[in-house]
Structure 1
Amino acid sequence: MGFVYNGINSRDMKIKARLTSWQASPALRNSYEIVPGKAGVADFGCDSAERIIVVNCNVFPQKSFADLVGALDDLAEWLNPMNGLKQIVLEDIPNRYFNARLSEQVDCERILRTAGSFDLKFICPDPHAYALADEIFTISNEGSHEVERVTGNADSEPVYQLRGVISSSASTYISISTNGEELRVVGALSADEVLVIDSGLVTAKITDLNGNTLRNGLPGLDELNFPVLHKGDNEITVSVVGATFSELRVLAKSRWR
């Protein structure tokens, strides 16, 4: 087993890697309160904490101890946590990626004169894994549409890409309802522009057809009501008042808990 971090394979860095354990579910943050006069506690639910991934590694035997140190120097540069979060793909689980960085120092134990072993401990502030080959849905006409997410096992925070024509009049808009939750677009939008609504980043922008950002898209939303897609069936309804609808492209951002 190996892994790819920031687009570089561990084997290319002279590292042999394997998973010896797996965190099936990230740690939980529980919200409890003691209620005087009542047995037990009041449960206010929970959410997920960060995910930890531990990878056991060995350096391929080198020609000399200096070469071993050189390989570790290259590893330290490659995995430098000061560079922030990067994508990591574990070859045993090739259909998903995590955003991670090192969370602890790396101590290499010499097992031969020119070889060593160590553990890499990665932290994923966002505990979810995301699909490398994701689901994309395209809606080209008004009305109600069923979209089915089959990848992942958790609710996803999709990216909506809307094309159409909306004037600056307050009486014209395009309404997008996802599972009964309405997102109303009232801001000006021309035929050669795309409104990109990102539920994960909780933001919106308007781009040209080549993806270049033109301006902030949040003022064009009637209220900040960002869509969520469930695993399985979802209903998306598009309705138009005084505007022209061309296309809604939905990037599912499918993920695993």
Structure 2
Amino acid sequence: MGFMYNGIHSKNMKLKARLTSWQASPPLRNSYEIVPGKVGIADFGCDSSERYIKVSCNIYPQRTFENLVKVLDDISAWLNPMEGLKQLVLDDVPDRFFLARLNTEIDCERILSSAGSFELTFICPNPNGYAITDEQFTFSTTGSHELVRNIGNINSYPIYQLKGNIDSSSSSFVTITTNGEELKLIGRLASNEILVIDSLLLTAKVTDLNGNTLRNGLPILDELNFPILNKGSNEIIINTNNATFSELNILANSCWR
């Protein structure tokens, strides 16, 4: 077993790796407050904190200590945390990836003169795991549609890609209502452009048909009401007013807590 980090598998770095533990859910960040005159505490809910993933590693004998150091040099460069978050995929959980970086030093214990072992601890500031092969949905007509998410175990923050034609008049708009929450799109959108709305990053942009960014898309959103998809069934309602709707493509961004 092993893991893939930044597109490179641990076996290609001469590592034998295995999970030593698994967090079934990330740590909680609780919000409590003491209220004078009230028994106990006031509970203002909780949120997920960062996730830590620990991997135990071994380097097989490399004939000489010099060769062992060379392998460790390559591993140190591969896992350099200064390069930021990279995709981490564990062989034991191959359907999802985490955005992670190394959180501690690599401190190798020499087992033999040319072999060693150490433990890696990765930190995932976003504790959720995201689907490697995700669900996508495409709607090409207005009206009510059902969208059913089967991957993941929590609500997801999808990416919406809208094609259509909206002019700059106040009477021209498209509305997308996701599970009762309406997103109204106003402003200018040409038929050869795509409005990309990313609910996870809370951003929007307008691209050409090849995906090249043309401009900021946030001014097209009447309100910053980013859609959220439930696990299971979702209702999507698309309506227009003095505008043309061509297609809505939805990338679910399915995830696990």
| TM-score, normalisation: structure 1 | 0.99
Aligned residues: 257
Stretches of structure 2 that go unaligned for 5 or more consecutive residues are none
**Residue 60 of structure 1: how far off its partner (Å):** 2.0
- Please give the alpha-carbon distance, in whole angstroms, between the structure 1 residues aligned to 2:98 and 2:216: 28
**Matches for 1:35-74 after TM superposition, within 5 Å:** 35-74=35-74
Of all paired residues, the percent bearing the same amino acid is 65
Q: Which residue of 2 aligns with 1:212?
A: 212
Alignment of 1:214-229 (within 5 A): 214-229=214-229
Distance 1:35 1:173 in 2: 47
Distance 1:199 1:117 in 2: 41
Q: Deviations over 1:7-60 (max 9, x none)?
A: 000000000000011011111010111122222111100000000000000012
String of CA shifts for 1:35-92, please: whole Å, max 9, x gaps.
2222211110000000000000001221211000000000000000000000000001
State the 1:106 CA deviation: 1.2
C-alpha distance in structure 1 between counterparts of 2:185 and 2:37, whole Å? 50
The 3-state SS of whatever aligns with 1:94 is: strand
Other-structure match for 1:144:
144
Question: What amino acid maps onto 1:172 in structure 2?
Answer: S
Name structure 1 gaps, 5 residues minimum: none
Q: Does 1:88 align with 2:88?
A: yes
Matches within 5 A, 1:15-30: 15-30=15-30
Q: Kindly report the root-mean-square deviation, in angstroms, between the aligned alpha carbons of the 2 structures.
A: 0.6
Counterpart-to-counterpart distance in 2, 1:181 and 1:60 = 56
Secondary structure in 1 aligned to 2:94? Answer: coil
Distance in 1 between residues matched to 2:61 and 2:55, nearest whole Å: 19
Q: Deviations over 1:192-240 (max 9, x none)?
A: 1000000011010000000000111011111110000010000000000
Distance 1:174 1:120 in 2: 49
Task: Find the counterpart in structure 2 of residue 115 from structure 1.
Answer: 115
Q: Which residue of 2 aligns with 1:132?
A: 132
Tell me the residue number matched to 1:174: 174
One-letter code of the match for 2:221? L
